[in-house]
Structure 1
Amino acid sequence: MKLTEFFNDDFFSLPRTQGPKEDYKTFVNRVLNEFLKKIDNVENFEDVPFNKFLLNERQNFLVNQLKSTISIYYDGKPAQALKEIKPALDSNIKDFEDFLNVREFEPSSNFFRIRIHKHNYPLKSENFFHIPFDLRGKIKTQRFSIPGFPSLYLGNSAYVCWEELNRPNLNDFQIVRLKSTKHLKVIDLAPPKGDNIEPYEYYKYLMIWPIVFACSVRVRNYDDFFKPEYIIPQLLLQWVREDNRIDGISYQTTHINFTESLSEGEFLNIVLPVKENKTKGLCAVLESKFQMTEATSVQLNQCSTHGIIGGGGAFQYNNDKIKKIELIKGIPTDYNISVFGGLEDVLSKMECNKITKP
């Protein structure tokens, strides 16, 4: 069996949803145990040489540490839970980059960020960066977050940003484009995508799949204050925060059911925790890594002489990361002629400037 064929099993499709009668802890333990059985049944991969004993040993250790970490967190000991997960992460990466996929975004890479705003006066650009240090109290708990600690959340497309906010009305948000000015190094938890992927990339993904899975469980109750689905991703971000070689984490959105969706492409979120601790303002380290456009929106562009964003037309801008999106069940839409492709087309023509401090 080839490793690429091994991953064709629906078991590896993410994100995952808990069963109706399972609590989070029971669900995660069940899936991780099933993962170990699948690994144990592998005798060889035709396209990747590996040591079966070493593979089983590492995966068993990683799975047991993840289970133990969740149990300790449930016992009201989050600091001890972080200590528990560290050896598992360290033991599985040797020289840090062996198994965790450290992805590098080149300077001038484009990212997007949206904010809910129901008025036609453009928000100032600083409102689209991370929450300032002096407004820590406004930081909400998210999948990848550190309580009370600001982070910058970005998407690799306007569409992903929209999905992350649970599809707000098109007239109720504004959007900016951020352009990186320096190299960004992130731990990439997304599965390998694209043509001509080397088999070893799938092997690296296999080695961290238990972590990726634990970070990709859909939230059952969004109204709950405590969301157990956030335990592992939040601890992982704290671990990343302590390593100055890494800027953040990129991960596949959990708002799209890729098993059933006709969407095609790479739908990434990026989280970048601040690199300093201040009492006021923005992180100077993150500021130095980006420039940003002014804000725009669907309505503002409908009022503009630059053109109307409505879909159905051809735009010069091309987001080569996304081919199709499924806005309506069973009806795929070419991304670059969608309303989101239109927004990106407009933003691509807008100048990026230095981040304005609030």
Structure 2
Amino acid sequence: MNDIYTVVDKLLESDLAKQPLLAPNTSSYRDDLELKLNNFITIVKTLSPQGGIIEKTLYEASSELENITKKILSALDEYLSGNAGEAYRHIADLLEMEIITRHIFKLCSSMDKYSGKNDSNSLYRVRLSEKPLFKKHDMFHIPFNSRHLVGTQRYSIAGVPCLYLGSSLYVCWHEMGSPDLNKLYLSRFGCRKKNVQYLNLAYSLKMMKPEGLDTFIDNTSEIERDLARIIFLPILIACSYKKAHSPANFNEEYIIPNLLLQWVSKKSPDISGISYLSTNTPQMKHHDININFVFPPKTYTSRKSFYCQTLSDIFELSDPVSWQLLDTVSIENKYNNIDTLISINNMHEDYIKYYHTTKFKDQENKLKKMVVKKVHN
């Protein structure tokens, strides 16, 4: 029996539900994280060994889950003490625990749905530029010979150019800090290879709560995926904090996601990237426009190669086009005649709800008319 409703309901009674998370002014990220992780373990220990499959499994794994939380906090403490290598070792040890290796691929998804075809889902990349951009290279990851331009991201590796994509132009725009639209250049990305896997951390407890017919889903794959999501919840919590200080040269909220990405980059050849929810947009269960993707480079073939050969083999993209120029193109929009009422009090959530009527969606539809091709080194 899929008893995910029972488990999620108990977890939602705690302070774990409000994702993205933000430490209160009276506390640090580290202390608030410890409080939330301890809260999670306390709830797990109250689950019943006579419950459904998920409840029983979590109860029996409480000591392993507690070990996961301790390793996360140890990694954080080592990093903050100046021992970055030891911090990474704690995360690597965590990800090699039997309970993690047994469930991690239940959380992996295939990039097949992002095939780059006109009628498929697409991924997007946005760049802010005062000068015209014409080449596909301009929209790929920062070249290896320009590592000095690599900034601090929630999921990043110091000095390592990664490829960041979004499930919508809207989330890309928010991740850029909501700049002037007329200074943006846009590209659409598609996956050109089969069975490219990514670790799917684009979920929250609220999104997991069953509704309607979801309550009756009882197949094995759904139960295994739901169980894996709860087992990974301590890691997800540690990676889901908004930064307390902006702008800042260092954000302790980024330590654990940075270490996780390092592991994906070097220790997990079967996982190409990570998807995660934006901390800058509302997170709604039945909408997937607020998802970010990060793909670290996997190969450095030569000094003359400025781009990761593995990533250039995986992705194809359209030529960059300015928002202004694309805005002059007109295509039929079947939603134009919809009378949409957006309440001021819930502007951001309603914007996502009626996203199909927005200018962002209109621009995405135009980008889908553009040809995508791979980047050549």
So what's the TM-score if we normalise by structure 2? 0.82
Alignment of 1:166-205 (within 5 A): 166-183=177-194, 184-191=196-203, 196=214, 198-205=222-229
* Unaligned runs of at least 5 residues, structure 2: 117-121, 339-344
Cα deviation digits, residues 271-292 of structure 1 (max 9, x gap)? 1111112434111111111111
Describe the SS at the equivalent of 2:94: helix
CA distance in 1 between counterparts of 2:177 and 2:270 reads: 33
Alignment partner, residue 296 of structure 2: 273
Counterpart CA distance in 2 for 1:212 and 1:251 is 9
The answer to whether the 8 Å contact 1:170/1:298 transfers is yes
CA-CA distance at 1:171 after TM superposition: 1.2
Deviations 1:197-251 (A, max 9, x none): 6233221111010000101111010222111001100000111112211101111
**Does structure 1 residue 23 correspond to structure 2 residue 25?**
no
Q: Is the 8 A contact 1:99 1:207 kept in 2?
A: no
In structure 2, do the counterparts of structure 1 residues 33 and 123 end up closer, same or farther at CA, with 3 Å as the change threshold? same
Counterpart in 1 of 2:341? Answer: none
Matched, 1:43 2:43: no
Identity of aligned residues (%): 26
Residues 107-135 of structure 1: CA deviation (Å, up to 9, x unaligned) = 6152110001245x444221110111110
Q: Distance in 1 between matches of 2:288 and 2:168?
A: 11
Paired residue for 1:231, among 236, 247, 255? 255
Counterparts of 1:47-196 in structure 2, within 5 Å, are: 48=54, 50-51=56-57, 54-93=60-99, 95=101, 97-98=103-104, 101-106=107-112, 108-109=115-116, 110-118=122-130, 121-183=132-194, 184-191=196-203, 196=214
Write the distance in 1 (CA, Å) between the matches of 2:181 and 2:247.
Answer: 24
CA contact (8 A) 2:166 2:172 kept: yes
- Could you tell me which residue of structure 1 aligns to residue 279 of structure 2? 254
Residues 285-333 of structure 1 show CA distances to partners (whole Å, capped at 9, x for unaligned) of: 11111111112233102334x4599x96279xxxxxxxxxx98356445
Q: Tell me whether 247-256 or 204-213 shows the greater mean CA deviation.
A: 247-256
Q: Aligned equivalents of 2:279 and 2:349: distance in 1? A: 19
Displacement after TM superposition at 1:352 (Å):
0.9
Residue 54 of structure 2 aligns to a residue whose secondary structure is coil
Q: Following the alignment from structure 1 to structure 2, what is the Cα–Cα distance between the partners of residues 223 and 294?
A: 31
* 1:20–1:179 Cα change, 3 Å: same
Q: Aligned AA for 1:35?
A: F
Structure 1 residues 31 and 116, CA, compared in 2 at 3 Å: closer, same or farther? same
Give the 3 Å change call, closer, same or farther, for CA 329–240 of structure 1 in structure 2. closer
| 2:56 partner SS | coil
CA apart distance, 1:93 = 4.3
What is the rounded CA distance, in whole Å, between the counterparts of 1:52 and 1:229 in structure 2?
27
Conservation of the 8 A alpha-carbon contact between 2:183 and 2:323:
no
Residue 179 (structure 1) shift: 1.1
Distance 1:126 1:299, change over 3 A: same
Closer, same or farther: CA 48–158 of 1 in aligned 2, 3 Å = same
Contact residue 106 and residue 225 of structure 2 kept, 8 A: no
2:230 matches 1:206: yes
- 1:349 equivalent to 2:375? Answer no
SS of 1:12's equivalent in the other structure is coil
Flag the structure with higher strand content: 1
Cα distance in 2 between the residues matched to 1:287 and 1:264: 29
Aligned length in residues: 342
User: Does the CA-based 8 Å contact 2:239-2:253 persist in structure 1?
Assistant: yes
Q: Which residue of 2 aligns with 1:241?
A: 265
The one-letter code of the counterpart of 1:12 is L
- What is the rounded CA distance, in whole Å, between the counterparts of 1:275 and 1:96 in structure 2? 24
**CA 1:7/1:239 → structure 2, altered by over 3 Å: closer, same or farther?**
same
The answer (yes or no) to whether the contact 1:175–1:297 under 8 Å persists in 2 is yes
CA RMSD of aligned residues (A): 2.8
| Amino acid in structure 2 at the alignment position of 1:126 | H
Tell me what 1:302 maps to. Answer: 327
Tell me the residue number matched to 1:322: none
CA distance in 1 between partners of 2:167 and 2:349 (Å): 24
TM-score normalised by structure 1 residue count: 0.86
Alpha-carbon separation, structure 1, partners of 2:105 and 2:331: 47
